[in-house]
Structure formats: C-alpha cells, structure tokens
Structure 1
Amino acid sequence: MNRKIVIVFGGVSFEHEISIVSAIAMKEVLQAELHYVFLDGARNFYYIPNERLNAKLFSSGKYKKCDKLTLGKEGFIKKSVFSTSVIPCDVILNLIHSGDGEDGTLSAMFDFYSLPYIGPRKEACAISINKFLTKGYASSLNIKTMNYQYYNKGEIVRVKEYPVIVKPVRLGSSIGVSIVKEEADLLYALDVAYEYDNAIIIEPFVSNIEEYNVAGCKIEGEFVLSLVEEPQKSEFLDFEKKYLDFSRTSTVQEANISSELKNALKDAFKKIYNTLFDGSMIRCDFFVINNVVYLNEINPIPGSMSNYLYEDFSSTLVSLSYDLPKIQNITISYDYVNKIQSAKGK
C-alpha cells in the first residue's frame, strides 16, 4: 500500500521558487501517493491537484482558484459549504527551503498539532539556518569551519586581506552572497548582503577549493548515507546555477576520491547529524584543504531533497517516514493545584 505523503512547498522565503521546482521534481522520484499543499506569500494553504502542478500555475496566480486549506489536529482540512474533508496523509514532507520551512515556523506548527513530518525539528532549524550558530555547533563537535568575521548592520567592517566572500547569516542558495576581490567592491557586497539579513559573515575566499556534498538520514538508529558528490567546478556557484541544479532527478556519479577521504566526510556528516537532525534528510556541504575536512554549510531541506545523491531516494524517504521522532506525551493531572486547594480547606 502506497504511503500517503503531503508535500508542503512555497512559503514566505527568498527561496520560494526553488521550493516549487523541488515539489515538481518529487513527482518523478517519489513512489508514493503524493498530495501537494502550497503555502503562498500571504501564508494561505492551497490544495494543488497533481495534474495542475506546474510553475506557471503559481507565477500567474491561478493557484488561488484551487481549494484553500486550514491546518489543525487532523492535518490539512478542506472546507466547503456543505462538507469538510481532510487531505489523506500518513506523513508531511516539509519542502520549503529557508524562510518558513527552515526557520522553525512550520516545525513548530506541526509539533503543536502532533502531526508526523519529515524535516528538521525546531532546535535543528535554529542551528542550521544561522551560519554563526552552525559554526559554533561544528566547533563543539571538533569539526573545522572557515575562519570568519561576524558583523551586525551598522557596524564598521574591517577586512585585512582579500579576496573574501560576504554572506548573509540566515540564508542559503548563494542569495545575497558576493566574492570581493578588492576593497573598492566591499561596500556594494555589504549592501547586497544586508538586503537579506541584518547580520553578515565574512570568510576568506579560496579559489579552486575541493568541495564535496554528503546527504543522509538515520533510520532505526542506523545511518543511511548518499554517494559523496563533487559538485560542478566554478569559481562561484551562483543562485541561477544552483536553481537549475536543484531540478536534477538522475543519480550523480560518486566522487573519485580515496576511501580515507570518503570515510572522513561521512564521519563528519554523522557527527553533525547526531540526534539533532533526527527525522530529517539533510545535506552537508564540505570543503577539504590539505586533506582536512571543513564544514561549509548544513542544508536541512536541500533542493529537491538532494534526491540525485541517493541510490534509492524513494525507499529511503518512505522508510524514514516510519521512524520519526516521538513527541513526548505530557499528562496534565492538576495534582499540585488540588493539593493546594486541599491544604487551604483544612
């Protein structure tokens, strides 16, 4: 019997369009009964029939003619004048990149209603969406990251040596990111980054650096890891190139590197995933400098779920859907209040 998966996509996010591309890609790679729920810029949920799922539906605004939904304890609810129905669902797949999907907004809603979902939990969102906190988390695990300077908007920025790369603290997919090769270009790069966030990180830029990606999850206590990918070489993989890259659905070739380096990358992934990312399928992007592994970024909801890195993406996701973190059941007894009342009555 096919698993019923509700894919939530769109959201209030600078990566809204990437989420749409990811949702469309799932039709090709997930062997399950899929139901699509679109979250628009006004934070309204819409039920999108599979046959109508295409990019133009959203860019034209015609999605607003689809049924509007509400979210409750039963899941996604469709109401009409004469009836109320619940969208069939065994598990929700959070497919909103950045914004609502990765900042903990949706995670908190799903947790509040005790709904089963694949995606980062609130604590994982807080760590992974913020590059400053990510570096601190990696450091606690003895995983190296690039040296950096952290600035809030309005602070005086001083760079001693170029080239550098300027990044908004809370954004991915290279949006708002600039390579600065000389001081004359710094002010413009800062203006661009501050358009997206009120805090930035500045790191040294190393050309021709070795880059590798590893994706995976944990099922019944055992790690299920993807191939190790060596992404397309370019001085800088900008937003447009990444946007097109996210639409891939065919499996990539494994990186041609030593088994020792593969193991080092996978070990670093396992340390990062730990228990913090239980219930999610993440991707970690690494640098390697002089055979030393550095964490570049944690992608808690990667583009198209990085399906192209897995030998059997669909089976992995479906298996994970049966082994999600359990929400602690807290019994409300009012024993303490009753004791106080009893004491007062004596």
Structure 2
Amino acid sequence: MKEAGKRLRVGVIMGGMSSEREISLESGRNIYHNLDLSKYEGIPIFLDSKGRLWEMTLPLLVQNTTADIEARLEKEATRIPYEKLKELVDFVYIGLHGKYGEDGCLQGLLELLGIPYTGSGVLASAIGMDKHMTRRLLTAAGIRVPKYLAISEKAWQERREEMEKEIEETLGYPCVVKPTREGCSIGLSVVREEDQLPPAMDEAFQWDTTCLVEELLRGTEITCGVIGNENPIAFLPTETPPRGDFLTVEEKFLPGEGENITPARLPQEMIKKVQRVMVEAYKVLGTKVYARIDGFVVDGEVIVTETNTLPGMTPSTCIFHQAAEEGMSPMDLITKVIELSLEAHRKKKGPLA
C-alpha cells in the first residue's frame, strides 16, 4: 500500500468484454487524464476481450478503438497476471461499463486480491446491472418503476402465443423491449405494432436470456447523479430529450450528438422531488460512492427506469455537467470518487456490500 509521502498508485481499468467497451475506453482515458497528479500516480490498464489485464503505454492509450489497442498488446503492453496486480497498484479506478466490469465480476476479483476500488460492492453492482432485480427492489420500497413484464428466452420459445397475449393485455402497443442486463440502449427496440414484437424479442435475446417488455413512457426523460456513502446527495438532474423514440449510445456519450440540459427544465419543487426519489433509490439498492440513476417525470410523478453503478465518465457525459453545477471540476469529481471509495473500503467488514 501507499507509503507516507508517496502518491497513491491508481490503476485505471478500461476496455473490457462487454458491448460497452468503446465507451469504457473513452471513460478510462478521461479518468486517467483528470487524476490529480499531486495525489495520484495513474497507471493505465486495459482489460482485453479475453479478460486479460495489460499495462498500457501512452501510445496505446491514445489509439482510436479497443480493437486497435488489442492488435498491439502483445508487442507494446505488459501482461499483468491477476495475482500480480497488487504489486503494481494500491487502488483501482474502474472505468469499465456493462457485463464483467459493472456487474460484480471484477469487484469480486478485486475483493479476493485485497485491492480497494471505485463504486459499489459485489452485491449492489450485480443488482444495479440487472434491471429486473432493480425494479423488484424499488417496487417493494414503494418507488415507481415502469409497468413491465420480464420474459425468459425459454418462456418465449415454449409459450410464445401466451406471452404475446399477456404483453398485449398488460402493456399494449407501443411498448419497449430491452435485454435485462445491457446498457447504452443495446438491444433496445420500440414496438409499435404486434408484428414488430418477434424481431424485437429476438434482438433482445441476442444479448441476454431474459428481456423486459415495458410501457413506452411519455414525459421528461431525466438522469441524476448521486454521490456519497452513508449520507448520499443528489446532483441537479439533467434533462435528456431524445431525437427519436429513445436515447442512442451516440446521443448519450458523443460530443454534439445529444442534448443534455442541466438542470432539467422542471419546476423547482419537482427538481427537489426528483432528487429525493433518486437518493432513496440509491439507498434501497445498497449503492456506494456514486451512481447515475435514470428515469422520467410523467404527470408529476418520478418513475425510475435503471441505475448505473459505474456511470459513463466520457468528457461529454452529464455527470460532469451536474458536478459543475456544484462547483466541482472533472478532477474534483474524480478525486471525490476516490476518497469516498477509500472511505467505504476502510469501513467494510468482509467484502464491500
């Protein structure tokens, strides 16, 4: 671990094995470049498509895509066996998104290695990645979620007509179909007519064995950063009006592609209500350190759609806009995330809950 007077060695892990690896690369680079060098020594680490860790050189770090990096790893990077990671870093800033990075898998590995890391622990990370489990817990706590059905691939294959009838009677059209454990609108379809349902279900099942079919919400789409451990606070929410039926990955993360309005164009009392609901959802789900929680305001009600326990940290992402409203620079926010993470790991008993 860190010796007195020495900077904390922060390994920033990016890339990964999920459909969100290109966003992760942008997040990881931005995190690395916004580390406070008076406190931290940054070490860029790439998780490749086979789950292997590599210490990157700076020329690799600036490559355009994860495929470009992978093509050069053997010659230009240094392989890091899992059991050697603790010799290289004191702390891990997880810049990964999606499966195997945001869902408790990497968190469990780091717990076994005894390395503190950013964000929630194994359980809260797994819950946050699973939209169905998230909604079950929120519903039990009295927090509104979209009206939805969770349908397994097995049920769809064996009882398709029954499932189609249940969808029509419970939700009707239009509706939304999405995989349970994907982000960035991957595998998401808006279904306006009955004959569009089968291809939408097939697309969702390309990504997971369970999908959600939910009502198509019409209202103000919002996203809200929440930060803290025992006493979390919500940033001012951002309004994210989509150009089409839903926000695309490009609109969410690429500069100039989407519109992010911070604070959201809502009455002050509704802003406060959004913040209260998002903090409550954060607590119910056992989230730690920071997260971004998405939802809608419809007819004066706040409806929570999902939580992101490792929110995107690309330069244009809205969590930086929200932090700026509180007077925090990107470096300030990243420093605060590290400090809160270290606090959570100091206080834990067993793995971070």
Q: Same fold (TM over 0.5)?
A: yes
Instruction: State the distance in 1 between where 2:134 and 2:232 align.
Output: 21
Identity of aligned residues (%): 24
> Could you tell which deviates more after superposition, 210-219 or 161-170?
210-219
Letter in 1 for 2:120: P
1:183 aligns with 2:194: yes
> Could you tell which deviates more after superposition, 229-238 or 108-117?
229-238
> Could you tell which deviates more after superposition, 29-38 or 115-124?
29-38
Q: Residue 101 of structure 1 aligns to a residue in which SS?
A: coil
> Could you tell which deviates more after superposition, 190-199 or 58-67?
58-67
Contact 1:141 1:271 in 2 (8 A): no
Residue 307 (structure 1) shift: 3.0
Residue 246 (structure 1) shift: 11
Hey, what does 1:17 align to over in structure 2?
Answer: 22
Letter in 2 for 1:304: M
Unaligned stretches of 5+ residues in structure 1: 78-85, 331-346
Contact 1:228 1:254 in 2 (8 A): yes
How has the CA–CA distance of structure 1 residues 3 and 224 changed in structure 2, closer, same or farther, with 3 Å as cutoff?
Answer: farther
Residue 309 (structure 1) shift: 2.5
Q: Residue 317 of structure 1: which of 319, 324, 337 is its match?
A: 337
1:216 aligns with 2:226: yes
Residue 243 (structure 1) shift: 4.2
Letter in 1 for 2:64: K
How has the CA–CA distance of structure 1 residues 104 and 46 changed in structure 2, closer, same or farther, with 3 Å as cutoff?
Answer: same
Residue 245 (structure 1) shift: 5.5
RMSD: 2.5
Contact 2:144 2:302 in 1 (8 A): yes
TM-score by structure 2 length? 0.81
TM-score by structure 1 length? 0.83
Letter in 2 for 1:328: K
Instruction: State the distance in 1 between where 2:100 and 2:126 align.
Output: 12
Q: How does 1:117-266 map to 2 (within 5 A)?
A: 117-153=117-153, 154=157, 155-156=159-160, 157-158=163-164, 159-160=167-168, 161-207=172-218, 209-219=219-229, 221-234=230-243, 235-244=245-254, 253-266=262-275
Q: Residue 344 of structure 2 aligns to a residue in which SS?
A: coil
Q: Rg: which structure is higher?
A: 1
Return the structure number with greater strand share.
Answer: 1
Instruction: State the distance in 1 between where 2:220 and 2:321 align.
Output: 20
Instruction: State the distance in 2 between where 1:242 and 1:99 align.
Output: 19
How has the CA–CA distance of structure 1 residues 229 and 28 changed in structure 2, closer, same or farther, with 3 Å as cutoff?
Answer: farther
Instruction: State the distance in 2 between where 1:19 and 1:247 align.
Output: 18
Q: Residue 92 of structure 1 aligns to a residue in which SS?
A: strand
Contact 1:104 1:122 in 2 (8 A): yes
Instruction: State the distance in 2 between where 1:245 and 1:273 align.
Output: 28
Unaligned stretches of 5+ residues in structure 2: 1-5
Hey, what does 1:328 align to over in structure 2?
Answer: 349
Letter in 1 for 2:251: K
